[in-house]
């Protein structure tokens, strides 16, 4: 019966294609399907009919309001609710919703980050319906996925460039496919975002200002136990978490989000959710909705969901793997088939990816650069800040042989005899997975693993789509310039030259090893360790030219994105520094002073009795030194933060935060954490790592 429930409820809160077919007059439905499939503008008559049907459907599902749901540059989602009511002359109300309201909204753009675009243009912004992503109901509100643009049509959001990059990739890939005699109706990207997150007790979350305000712990001594026993990964899921995950699945399924896999992750309290992949921009929308649901539903179970890239030191942080492929009318162009060495179409697309990633490693790195992700990239469990590609045992020999002008066969899948008759023999997966690679080929897709857990996946996908579109375009030009030669010979030569010229980006070794850093440097691969190092790539003239050429982002938009990212970095660090100073002065210092006072009193009392309290005296002295040092370090952090905040140039400001504020934060943390290890549990003002990470 459970199956019936799931199939019946799947998509019940989404205005699906089936709903549209049922509710729209046939010609309208047909026209709308064409608009969606061919990605062209919709006319107002059609919009009016769609709006009416959508409203009727929404009212039947209990909706009272509608909203244009969009993704401003801060990466989260925004909504403003308007009710459907209109007043009649007789004072009664009517529930109405017009095509114009469906197609276009007008939020005040001035309150959203815009990276300076607003300064040069009008403050007005428009939200524009994206008919490719279906409308859905959330808390009695009909949500209409939209793009957010300025008065002059500049993108003010994450979605617009993603849609534009999908258009560019589709156009260029179709040119390539035409050379192979393939003429698909649609070429789309497929994206499967694996989402990691932590769940801790809500009471612990509420008891810590750092978690509430910054989403991560800014203090905390090393727990007695970490993840070294490797017992959490795939471990049995604790009942409260299990109950939460069940409701989460139900809620996501109602929204037609194909949640598929859930499991415990490596760090204590860490979990992962992976959906079945979907068309790129829809997958990004659905990942954002998933992140929202994760946070909201956790509170029903007395839990708090942490989506930050590094909520806790000493254990793994959280990422989001961007599984990416491109397909033509359902045919995956990255499917190697049994003989990739002879699969020219596959080799051509593989070559596109290798070249795209090598040429635009800086942009890929910039697309995942945030203050939060800086704590993760290069740390032990995460891919390094160096971008490289892993191809695996099956493909590497093919590529190497091609470069040497040889013909090598890919490894056959190996049949493994497990030595136990009752167990069936299995095939060894051809894509032995190098978990340390930031950009890995895993069977029939690439997996970009540098993305941060709380980031909107638009940015990395915009870069990937555009960079691959550029390679498609180059290939077509290469072929056109050699039209007197046999196409297959020319294409093979292109593939061989591409692998040869971009060989340096392919790395199958351990990405976590120190030697790799030196080796990467020898190969000339960029190693952009921090956000301030990475984001200037967004205003590199060559990169601006790339995005302009393919109609994805113009110079002003790129500049706005750079400024917005730079500002975001400084703002986040400013908040973190403020919270640290606040916690030090208002929580840790009073607690330690009071505790050291109690001990000093004990020393004095014992002295009156003629007892020399050696240990207590020593402890009181150490605690007092700790108080002095915390007091001084908090002031120092405060001063450095104030100085950094006042720097006008966003790039310089970020550098100052990285070079002076972050070290001051680290120094203050070390001082406080060392006191935590010697203070009594009773006096400590916040839950410890032991408390938070190991609850029952």
Of the two residues 368 and 544, which places its CB atom closer to Mg ion in the complex? 368
Which residues in the 261-300 window bind ligand ADP by CB under 6 A? 274-277
Asked whether position 320 contacts ligand ADP by CB under 6 A, the answer is no
Q: What is the Rg, in whole angstroms, of the alpha carbon atoms belonging to the chain?
A: 28
Report the distance separating Cα 464 and Cα 443, nearest Å. 18
Of the two residues 191 and 369, which places its CB atom closer to ligand ADP in the complex? 191
Report the distance separating Cα 374 and Cα 319, nearest Å. 11
As measured in angstroms, the least distance from the Cβ of 332 to Mg ion is 17
Neighbours of 328 (CB within 10 A): 21
Q: Nearest residue by C-beta to ligand ADP?
A: 192
As measured in angstroms, the least distance from the Cβ of 600 to ligand ADP is 55
Of the two residues 437 and 568, which places its CB atom closer to ligand ADP in the complex? 437
Of the two residues 33 and 444, which places its CB atom closer to ligand ADP in the complex? 444
* Of positions 164, 308, 360, 445, contacts ligand ADP by CB under 6 A: 445
Classify 667 as helix, strand or coil: helix
Secondary structure (DSSP) of 495-536: HHHHHHHTGGGB--S-TTSHHHHHHHHHHT--B--SHHHHGG
The two structure tokens encoding residue 688 = 């410890």
Footprint of Mg ion (CB under 5 A):
194, 321
As measured in angstroms, the least distance from the Cβ of 442 to Mg ion is 7
Query: What is the residue whose two structure tokens read 């051809």?
Result: 430
Of the two residues 433 and 474, which places its CB atom closer to Mg ion in the complex? 433
Pairing of β 141-150 and β 65-69: parallel
Strand pairing partners for 274? 261
Q: Which does 332 bind (CB under 5 to 8 A by kind): Mg ion, ligand ADP, none?
A: ligand ADP
As measured in angstroms, the least distance from the Cβ of 431 to Mg ion is 11
Q: Which does 280 bind (CB under 5 to 8 A by kind): ligand ADP, Mg ion, none?
A: none
Pinpoint the alpha helices (H) of 646-661: 650-656
Quick check: 273 and 290 in contact, CB under 8 A?
A: yes
Asked whether position 444 contacts ligand ADP by CB under 6 A, the answer is yes
As measured in angstroms, the least distance from the Cβ of 449 to Mg ion is 7
The two structure tokens encoding residue 110 = 């001035």
Of the two residues 464 and 544, which places its CB atom closer to ligand ADP in the complex? 464
Q: Which does 281 bind (CB under 5 to 8 A by kind): ligand ADP, Mg ion, none?
A: none
Of the two residues 113 and 438, which places its CB atom closer to Mg ion in the complex? 438
As measured in angstroms, the least distance from the Cβ of 505 to Mg ion is 20
Q: Which does 444 bind (CB under 5 to 8 A by kind): Mg ion, ligand ADP, none?
A: ligand ADP
Quick check: 136 and 14 in contact, CB under 8 A?
A: yes
Query: What is the residue whose two structure tokens read 């007695």?
Result: 224
Which residues in the 525-564 window bind ligand ADP by CB under 6 A? none
Asked whether position 396 contacts ligand ADP by CB under 6 A, the answer is no
What is the SS3 assignment for 407-454? CCCCCCCCEECCCCCCCCCEECCCCCCCCCCCEEECCCCEEECCCECC
Q: Which does 276 bind (CB under 5 to 8 A by kind): ligand ADP, Mg ion, none?
A: ligand ADP
Phi, psi dihedral angles at 371 (to 5 degrees): -60, -40
- Residues near ligand ADP (CB under 6 A), total: 16
Of the two residues 145 and 192, which places its CB atom closer to Mg ion in the complex? 192
Q: Which does 146 bind (CB under 5 to 8 A by kind): Mg ion, ligand ADP, none?
A: none
Quick check: 204 and 687 in contact, CB under 8 A?
A: yes
Asked whether position 360 contacts ligand ADP by CB under 6 A, the answer is no
Asked whether position 454 contacts ligand ADP by CB under 6 A, the answer is no
Asked whether position 332 contacts ligand ADP by CB under 6 A, the answer is yes
The two structure tokens encoding residue 532 = 């301030």
CA of residue 195 relative to chain centroid, distance: 8
Report the distance separating Cα 96 and Cα 85, nearest Å. 6
Q: Which does 624 bind (CB under 5 to 8 A by kind): Mg ion, ligand ADP, none?
A: none
Of the two residues 433 and 617, which places its CB atom closer to ligand ADP in the complex? 433
Quick check: 375 and 452 in contact, CB under 8 A?
A: no
Which residues in the 154-173 window bind ligand ADP by CB under 6 A? none
What is the SS3 assignment for 380-394? CCCCCCECCEECHHH
Quick check: 127 and 34 in contact, CB under 8 A?
A: no
* Of positions 19, 172, 194, 341, contacts ligand ADP by CB under 6 A: 194
634 CB-contact burial (10 Å; exposed 0-12 / middle 13-18 / buried 19+): buried
Asked whether position 325 contacts ligand ADP by CB under 6 A, the answer is yes
Report the distance separating Cα 38 and Cα 35, nearest Å. 5
As measured in angstroms, the least distance from the Cβ of 107 to Mg ion is 36
Contacting range for ligand ADP; rule: CB under 6 A; set: 324-332, 371-379, 542-550, 664-672: 324-332
As measured in angstroms, the least distance from the Cβ of 388 to Mg ion is 17
As measured in angstroms, the least distance from the Cβ of 353 to ligand ADP is 13
Of the candidates 31, 63, 218, the one whose C-alpha atom is nearest the C-alpha of residue 665 is 218
Report the distance separating Cα 16 and Cα 23, nearest Å. 11
Quick check: 185 and 330 in contact, CB under 8 A?
A: no
As measured in angstroms, the least distance from the Cβ of 390 to ligand ADP is 13
Quick check: 454 and 372 in contact, CB under 8 A?
A: yes
Of the two residues 189 and 498, which places its CB atom closer to ligand ADP in the complex? 189
Of the two residues 138 and 449, which places its CB atom closer to Mg ion in the complex? 449
Q: Which does 453 bind (CB under 5 to 8 A by kind): ligand ADP, Mg ion, none?
A: none
As measured in angstroms, the least distance from the Cβ of 494 to ligand ADP is 24
Which residues in the 577-616 window bind ligand ADP by CB under 6 A? none
The two structure tokens encoding residue 580 = 């640290």
As measured in angstroms, the least distance from the Cβ of 66 to ligand ADP is 30
Of the two residues 324 and 689, which places its CB atom closer to Mg ion in the complex? 324
As measured in angstroms, the least distance from the Cβ of 361 to ligand ADP is 21
| Per-residue x/- track, 171-190, ligand ADP (CB under 6 A) | -------------------x
Classify 266 as helix, strand or coil: coil
Of the two residues 274 and 463, which places its CB atom closer to ligand ADP in the complex? 274
Output DSSP code: residue 660.
I
Of the two residues 269 and 283, which places its CB atom closer to ligand ADP in the complex? 283
As measured in angstroms, the least distance from the Cβ of 442 to ligand ADP is 6
Quick check: 164 and 193 in contact, CB under 8 A?
A: no
Of the two residues 321 and 669, which places its CB atom closer to Mg ion in the complex? 321
What percent helix, strand, coil does the chain show, rounded to 5? 50, 15, 35
Pinpoint the alpha helices (H) of 225-329: 239-254, 280-298
Residue numbers at the binding site for ligand ADP (CB under 6 A): 190-192, 194, 274-277, 321, 323-325, 332, 442, 444-445
């Amino acid at each position: 019966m459970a199956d019936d429930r799931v199939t019946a409820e799947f998509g019940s809160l989404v205005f699906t294609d089936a709903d549209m077919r049922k509710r729209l007059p046939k010609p309208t439905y047909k026209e709308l399907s064409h608009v969606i499939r061919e990605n062209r503008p919709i006319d107002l008559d059609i919009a009016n009919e769609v709006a009416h049907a959508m409203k009727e459907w929404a009212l039947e599902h209990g909706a009272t309001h509608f909203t244009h749901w969009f993704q401003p540059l801060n990466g989260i989602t925004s909504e403003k609710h308007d009710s459907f009511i209109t007043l009649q002359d007789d004072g009664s109300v009517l529930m109405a919703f017009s095509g114009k309201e469906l197609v276009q909204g007008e939020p005040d753009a001035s309150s959203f980050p815009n990276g300076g675009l607003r300064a040069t243009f009008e403050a007005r912004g428009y939200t524009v319906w994206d008919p490719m992503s279906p409308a859905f109901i959330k808390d009695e509100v009909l949500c209409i996925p939209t793009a957010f643009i300025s008065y002059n049509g500049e993108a003010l959001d994450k979605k617009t460039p993603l849609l534009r990059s999908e258009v560019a990739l589709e156009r260029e890939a179709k040119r390539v496919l035409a050379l192979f005699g393939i003429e698909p109706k649609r070429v789309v990207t497929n994206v499967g975002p694996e989402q990691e997150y932590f769940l801790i007790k809500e009471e612990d979350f509420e008891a810590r200002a750092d978690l509430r305000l910054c989403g991560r712990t800014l203090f905390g001594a090393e727990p007695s136990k970490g993840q070294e026993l490797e017992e959490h990964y795939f471990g049995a899921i604790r009942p409260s978490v299990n109950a939460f995950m069940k409701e989460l699945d139900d809620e996501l399924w109602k929204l037609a989000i194909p949640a598929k896999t859930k499991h415990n992750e490596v760090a204590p309290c860490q979990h992962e959710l992976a959906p079945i992949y979907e068309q790129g921009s829809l997958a990004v929308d659905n990942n954002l909705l998933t992140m929202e649901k994760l946070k909201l539903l956790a509170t029903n179970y007395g839990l708090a969901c942490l989506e930050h890239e590094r909520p806790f030191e000493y254990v793994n942080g959280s990422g989001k793997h961007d599984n990416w492929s491109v397909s033509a009318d359902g045919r995956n162009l990255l499917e190697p088939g049994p003989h990739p060495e002879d699969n020219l179409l596959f080799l051509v697309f593989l070559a596109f990816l290798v070249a795209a990633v090598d040429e635009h490693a800086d942009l890929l790195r910039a697309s995942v650069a945030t203050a939060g992700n800086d704590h993760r990239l290069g740390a032990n469990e995460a891919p390094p800040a160096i971008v490289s590609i892993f191809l695996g045992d099956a493909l590497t020999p093919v590529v190497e042989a091609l470069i040497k002008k040889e013909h090598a066969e890919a490894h056959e899948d190996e049949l493994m005899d497990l030595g136990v008759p009752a167990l069936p023999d299995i095939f060894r997966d051809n894509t032995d997975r190098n978990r340390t690679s930031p950009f890995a080929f895993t069977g029939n897709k690439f997996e970009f693993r540098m993305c941060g857990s709380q980031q909107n996946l638009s940015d990395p996908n915009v870069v990937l789509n555009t960079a691959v579109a550029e390679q498609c375009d180059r290939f077509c030009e290469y072929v056109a310039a050699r039209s007197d030669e046999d196409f297959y010979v020319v294409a093979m030569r292109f593939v061989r030259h591409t692998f040869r010229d971009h060989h340096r980006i392919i790395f199958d070794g351990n990405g976590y090893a120190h030697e790799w850093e030196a080796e990467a440097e020898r190969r000339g691969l960029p190693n952009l360790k921090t956000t301030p190092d990475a984001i200037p790539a967004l205003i590199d003239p060559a990169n601006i030219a790339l995005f302009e050429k393919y109609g994805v982002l113009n110079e002003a938009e790129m500049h706005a994105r750079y400024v917005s990212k730079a500002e975001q970095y400084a703002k986040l660090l400013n908040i973190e520094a403020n919270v640290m100073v606040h916690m030090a002065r208002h929580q840790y210092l009073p607690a330690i002073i009071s505790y050291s006072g109690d001990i000093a009193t004990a020393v004095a009392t014992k002295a009156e009795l003629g007892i020399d309290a050696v240990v207590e005296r020593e402890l009181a002295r150490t605690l007092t030194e700790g108080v002095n040092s915390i007091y001084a370090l908090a002031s120092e952090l405060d001063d450095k933060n104030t100085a950094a905040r006042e720097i006008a140039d966003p790039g310089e400001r970020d550098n100052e935060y990285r070079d002076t504020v972050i070290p001051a934060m680290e120094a203050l943390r070390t001082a406080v954490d060392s006191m935590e290890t010697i203070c009594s549990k009773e006096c400590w003002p916040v839950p410890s790592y032991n408390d938070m990470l190991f609850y029952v």
